[in-house]
Amino acid sequence: MQPNPSLEFNDAGLTAFLANLVRAPSPNPPGNEGLVAELMVTRLAGLGFETITVEAAPGRPSVVARLVGTGGGATLLFNGHMDVQPPGRHWSRDPFGATIEGRRLYGQGAMDMKAGLAATVYAVDSLQQAGLRLAGDIVITAVADEVCGGHLGTGFLISEGLVQADMAVVCEPTGDTVRVAHRGALWLEIEVTGKSAHGGRPWLGVNAVSKAARIIAAIEDQLVPSLQDRVHPLLPAPTINIGAIRGGTKFNLVADHVVFQLDRRLVPGEDADTAEAEVSALCTEICAADDDEWSVDVKRAMHVSPGEVDPDERIVRACREAHRKVTGEDAAIGSTAGFEDAHFLLDAGIPTAMYGPYRRTASGEDPHYTISGMADEFVDLDDVARATRIYAQLMIDLLEKPL
């Protein structure tokens, strides 16, 4: 099947808009998505969208934009985050300069995922240039806070009841795959409190560093292996990473305080409460079995639920079909070991696919994780143009006719 021959779009306008998004710095933390939100609102309003901007916290806006169709059609949501990872230290270009070299546009967040936002906007622009009016509504949510868990972005919009749609696409860069599952994350801070004493008489104290080491060893030797049978057909088993530890004062003092940070990744079917209870139970067990007097306290810092959608769901099939129409190639079903905003939409009952058709890097690695947060992130402008065509095709396929 051939792509719709009447669909053309303003390639120079798309590039200029993407460059403007990249030149509006929004590294998270702290976020500061305001300038990106303004650019999105102005461009979307120019295309006839009704827009609202809401702030979950000061300076943390998210945009909900709706283009009302001629009536009787489905509502299709495109979700993209405006915040980006903080720039790495080794940029050879200005990370917010949007330098263009050949067909590459360099910038922090260029691929992850300001290209996705630009592609959705110019997909609508291309439909309007072709004079196409669709029956269904198009909703675009440009959100804050995704790289830190999304609770001040998509999570806030859902909790406020501001997002209604029949199906959704999260426009993360997914290469030539349509992703149907992502893992969740549970971040715990574990605080161990011992008793201070002089380092020359350690028997008078209780060393929190030593007790924390016991807990970490038990987590890695007992808990992690016990999780390995929680298999998912598309995802790695649950994992635990101890990402940071701090505590103690100096050589010759018995440390009375240690805090370490634990990142537990969840597969679909698991929930954060149970995962936290497993860690807490092990900590309590280690502490209770020890004759010394010390304590351990487990606090939740953040959690993101895992998410999955049936590969036979209409939105997944439609993404693959649009991909095939435009590229002539099949898009495989995929997944991501990281966390995404998709679970917020899935938990709200909106069938959601993760699909941002920017081709993979030459290394074959996952672009979301090889590029995100690394120096000299770029996106190929031909890929952005291709993604724009595919999103436009998807809009036509799902919204052209009344239901």
Residue ranges that bind Zn ion, judged by CB under 5 A: 112-113, 172
Please, which residue, 113 or 127, has the CB nearer to Zn ion? 113
Minimum CB separation from Zn ion for residue 254, in Å?
A: 44
Residues 6+ apart with CB under 8 A from 187: 261, 262, 263, 264, 300, 301, 302, 303
Please, which residue, 172 or 383, has the CB nearer to Zn ion? 172
Three-state SS at 128? helix
Minimum CB separation from Zn ion for residue 306, in Å?
A: 16
222 torsion bin: left (phi>0), alpha (psi -120 to 50), beta (else): alpha
Please, which residue, 106 or 260, has the CB nearer to Zn ion? 106
Three-state SS at 165? coil
Minimum CB separation from Zn ion for residue 403, in Å?
A: 31
Minimum CB separation from Zn ion for residue 146, in Å?
A: 6
Please, which residue, 112 or 276, has the CB nearer to Zn ion? 112
- 3-state secondary structure labels for all residues of 30-83: CCCCHHHHHHHHHHHHHCCCEEEEEECCCCCEEEEEEECCCCCCCEEEEEEECC
Rg of the chain taking only CA atoms, in angstroms: 24
Measured from each CB, the residue nearest to Zn ion is 112
Angle made by CA atoms 391, 392, 397, in degrees to the nearest 5: 95
Minimum CB separation from Zn ion for residue 86, in Å?
A: 13
CA distance 101 to 74: 40
Helix (H) / strand (E) containing 301: strand 295-304
Please, which residue, 60 or 211, has the CB nearer to Zn ion? 60
Per-residue DSSP letter, 365: S
Terminal CA-to-CA distance of the chain, rounded, Å? 23
Minimum CB separation from Zn ion for residue 325, in Å?
A: 26
Minimum CB separation from Zn ion for residue 109, in Å?
A: 8
Residue at 186: amino acid letter: L
Please, which residue, 172 or 380, has the CB nearer to Zn ion? 172
Please, which residue, 146 or 270, has the CB nearer to Zn ion? 146
